[in-house]
Every structure is written in structure tokens, then in C-alpha cells.
Amino acid sequence: MIPVQGFSDQSVAVLGLGRSGLAAAQALRAGGARAIVWDDSPRGREAAELEGFEVRDLTRPGAFDGIAALIVSPGIAHLYPAPNPVIAAAWDAGVPVDNDIGLFFRSFATDDWDGFDTQPRVIAITGSNGKSTTSALLHHILAENGRPTQLAGNIGRGVLDIEPAHDGEVVVLELSSYQTELARHLTPDVAVLTNISPDHLDRHAGLGGYFAAKRRLFSEGGPDRAVIGVDEDEGRYLANQLVADVSDDRLIRVSVTRKLADGWTVCAKKGFLTENRRGRQVASIDLRAIAGLPGAHNHQNACCAYAAARTLGLGPRGIEAAMRSYPGLPHRSQVVAERDGVTYVNDSKATNVDAAAKALQAFGRIRWICGGLQKEGGLAGLLPHLGSVAKAYVIGREAEDFARQLSGVTASICTTMDHAVAEAMAEAEPGDVVLLAPACASFDQYDSFAARGDHFAELVTDALH
């Protein structure tokens, strides 16, 4: 655990008692603060009481008397589409609002570091798609190359739940826009942006607000090094803002759509990763045979993880060897089974149009299980990428509307995952890929994308055995 610094003998309120909220309360107490907690859920409040925390209804008048700060769980909206009433009350009382990410960055460095031979580093990774795979892959690369490392944030453990740093350790953080938008302290040594596409637009009042939340990772503290995917305008803009000119080695630009001629670049084209520096190619990796990284979208993830590893001085050959042993993440282009020439792939994490489009581009003839709770913007971004779809099997409460938008594609309105899997398996032929890439959130039928992916994998496995 990382004891929170700066609040000794002060009362700090915590709103939301999920994984990050309860860990924040524990870390505050470990640092000498009095954590006062609240959650709308009786179950959350009961769990906190069992941990010995004071539960206070923060919605009542005067609740913020004597409170030094309010720490908010990432799922709680603080500005758009409307401020949470507790957060609004904190504003009115003049109480600073922060989250566990902000607490982490103010508390991670300690006096113990003075005795280390090599200072610990923090690499923070954000983006619309691929940040989980990029984070897990980088963590794997570091571990395989003998570097002490921890993985935390939006993946793995909560940021305050990890162990205090060891000599030379690298902490890899996956950070969502929900986490970056509110943190008062954002000071990673290396910051990575994989890509930007429309997502969580209601939470951020549009694409501009969403990008602004991501951009804070690069602007609040100023990382020593930045890795930026420049295949979208937002990435190109951000890269341009960070350095004086293209030759500045504090920036590595990443692309999987074109060759970047100048500066320090990492690109992937036709399955080959190349690193160029000052006009010369210094390394190349054939990504096509790496089973844990299928498709162009994973090649972008590989480029970002490779670039981040290079900022730490790791050699290309050691990075390549680690990539070849990377097992992949559940629910991200995860091969669940192969039988009679048919491959079954779980990409339940493809919860938006851009992620699903990338999944559709990664395979040949596809029997596509899709649908769920549609996000703002519709499905227009998918239409140019449906050429490999032999048939769509649409699930979710909005299945009929989803199917109507798939012009030119044969679609079966299945509604449930059981029906979709059974029909797709019955119709699949050798060479087909039965792909779950929903392009939608899961909450109309499942608690999470992971629960949806697990159900798909369970149905496939049961049917094949």
C-alpha cells in the first residue's frame, strides 16, 4: 500500500467505496489521515464500517465542516452531464476535490528513494483503445527483461494498493479519461497516448472535453518523455504542442497508417515494426507471427509499448523476445478455441465503434456477434469495415435498431448471446472466425464487458466439449 502524504491528522472525505474508493480510504488512514466515507450503496457503507471507517452522509448540510479534501471514485461524474450533488457541495464549501490518481502522484516518492541506486519510474498510458493491452504488454516486456515492475490503475491493482517502490522499479499505470480528468497531480516520467476516437462523450460533454481529459496527462506536470500515436488529428496536435521541433528526442511519434520521416518514430506497416531515429532505421520486428498481438490495432499497441520500453533504455532484441512470449489479455482479441478450421475470438472489450472496426480488420471471413447498449454517434464508423463480415448475429435490447444500421450485411436478430453463439457455430465453415466484437457497452444485459466475454467463452467451450 502507498500511504497518502500530506493529510496527517486531517479529516478527508471519500465518495464511492468500490475498489479504488476503499483503497483510497485505507491509504489515507495509513498516512495518518482520518478517512470519512460515503457511498449510495448500503453494501458499500457496511463494508467500510467493518473496516473501521466513519461513515458520514455527505449529502447533508454541514457534512464538509472540518474536511480537508474530498476524494472521488472515477465512476462518479464531477462536471458533465451534471455535477454529483456531493461534489457540488464540496465546491460550495471550498473543499478541494481529487481522486486516487492524484493521491498516488503526491505520495509515491518517499525519503527512502535517497538510498536507491536507480530512481523508480512511472509510465502512464491512456488512449481510447489499446491502453490495457499496451500496459500489460509493457509490464510483460519489463518483467521478461529483469526490470522490477508493477501494473496498476485501470488494470491490475488500484494505484494506492500497490507496494512501495523498490530500487529501479517501473510502475506501469493504465489511466482512463475518468481518472485523468480530475487528478490534481499528474507527473509520470513517461506518458503514452495510444489513439483518440469518440468515447464517453456524455461524461465529457463531447469529443473536445474527452480529449481535454486525456491531454491533462501531458500538460499538468510535463513528462520527461512522451509517446504519442499520431494517426488522428488530436495526436498530431498534442505531439506538436509538446516539443520545439520534430528532432526533439523527448517525443516518440507512433503510426500504423504511414511512414514518419523525421525525428524519433516507431511505425508498423504490413506487420513490420520499425524504429527510426534521426533519419536512420535502428530496429525492425516482424509482428505477424506473434500470436498474442493479432491485427493492425495490436500492432499499434506493440509500437507504443516498444517505444515506452525504449525510453527506459531496453534493447530492441530483448523487447522482441518478450513480445513473442506475451500471452495476450482476456477479452481483447482472445482466441477462445479452434475446432474444425473455425476460430472463436473474444473481443468483448471492443465496446465502441472504433475498437470493433479494428477487430473486424484483423481477420478474414467473419461471423460477427455484435450489439448491446449503443454509444453516442451511431454505427457510421463501422460501415467501411464490414467487407469481411459473412453474417452478423445481433444481441442486446437494441438488436433491431443495430441490425437496421448494418447496410449491405446479412444480419440475424438474436437478442441473446446463447442464441447468437448457437446460430453462428451452426453456420460457421472452415476458415471462418466467430468474433465477438460488440461495438457497444454491455450494461443492457451484463454487469461488465468481462462478464459478457466470459459468457461467450463459456458457451463456445461447452458446445465444443
Please enumerate, by residue number, every residue annotated as part of a binding site for ATP: 127-133
The answer to the question of residue 447 being in a domain is yes
Q: What is the CATH number of the domain that holds 246?
A: 3.40.1190.10
| pLDDT tens-digit readout, 360-396 | 998 999 999 999 999 877 888 899 999 999 999 999 9
- Residue 406's pLDDT is 94
The answer to the question of residue 3 being in a domain is no
The answer to the question of residue 179 being in a domain is yes
The answer to the question of residue 329 being in a domain is no
Average pLDDT in the 120-148 region? 96
- Residue 455's pLDDT is 98
| pLDDT tens-digit readout, 346-362 | 999 999 998 899 899 98
Whether 124 and 81 map to the same domain: the answer is: no
pLDDT band at 407 (very low <50, low <70, confident <90, very high): confident
Q: Is 49 helix (H, G, I), strand (E, B) or coil?
A: helix
Cell of 400: 433491431
Domain that includes residue 263, residue range = 103-324
Q: What is the CATH number of the domain that holds 63?
A: 3.40.50.720
pLDDT above 90: residue 247: no
The answer to the question of residue 2 being in a domain is no
Q: Which of 206, 229, 207 is nearest to 218 (CA)?
A: 229
Whether 256 and 193 map to the same domain: the answer is: yes
The answer to the question of residue 183 being in a domain is yes
Whether 292 and 340 map to the same domain: the answer is: no
**Consecutive H or E run containing 336:** strand 334-339
Q: Is 38 helix (H, G, I), strand (E, B) or coil?
A: strand
Whether 154 and 47 map to the same domain: the answer is: no
Separation CA 336–CA 448 (nearest Å): 18
Helices (H), 233-370: 233-242, 295-311, 316-324, 353-361
pLDDT band at 151 (very low <50, low <70, confident <90, very high): very high
Separation CA 429–CA 14 (nearest Å): 54
Q: Which of 42, 75, 98 is the last residue of a domain?
A: 98
The answer to the question of residue 286 being in a domain is yes
- Residue 380's pLDDT is 86
Kind of pairing, strands 342-346 and 334-339? antiparallel
Q: Which of 73, 57, 65 is nearest to 15 (CA)?
A: 73
Separation CA 128–CA 235 (nearest Å): 12
Instruction: Give the rounded percent of residues in the chain with a pLDDT score beyond 70.
Output: 100
Q: Which of 63, 98, 133 is the last residue of a domain?
A: 98
Whether 235 and 170 map to the same domain: the answer is: yes
The count of other CB atoms within 10 Å of the CB of residue 134 is 30
48-69 burial, b at 16+ Cβ within 10 Å, e below that, comes to beeeebeebebeeeebbeebbb
Opening angle at CA 383, ends 419 and 335, nearest 5: 50
Whether 153 and 197 map to the same domain: the answer is: yes
Distances (CA, A) of 448 to 131, 348, 443, 455: 17, 9, 6, 11
Whether 93 and 40 map to the same domain: the answer is: yes
| Number of folded domains that form the chain | 3
Whether 20 and 154 map to the same domain: the answer is: no
The answer to the question of residue 5 being in a domain is no
Cell of 110: 518517499
Whether 305 and 353 map to the same domain: the answer is: no
pLDDT above 80: residue 75: yes
DSSP letters along 392-432, please? Answer: EEEESTTHHHHHHT-TTS-EEEEESHHHHHHHHHHH--TT-
- Residue 375's pLDDT is 84
| pLDDT tens-digit readout, 84-129 | 999 999 999 999 999 999 999 999 999 999 999 999 999 999 999 8
Q: Which of 35, 104, 20 is nearest to 69 (CA)?
A: 35
Count of CA atoms in the C-beta half-sphere (13 A) of 251: 25
Separation CA 43–CA 46 (nearest Å): 5
Q: Which of 234, 104, 233, 94 is nearest to 180 (CA)?
A: 104
Q: Which of 264, 290, 324 is the last residue of a domain?
A: 324
pLDDT band at 291 (very low <50, low <70, confident <90, very high): confident
Q: Is 274 helix (H, G, I), strand (E, B) or coil?
A: strand
pLDDT band at 451 (very low <50, low <70, confident <90, very high): very high
**Consecutive H or E run containing 103:** helix 100-107
Cell of 295: 491485427
| pLDDT tens-digit readout, 158-211 | 999 999 999 999 999 999 999 999 999 999 999 999 999 888 888 999 999 999
Whether 166 and 243 map to the same domain: the answer is: yes
Whether 270 and 416 map to the same domain: the answer is: no
What value does the mean pLDDT of the chain take?
Answer: 94
Please enumerate, by residue number, every residue annotated as part of a binding site: 127-133
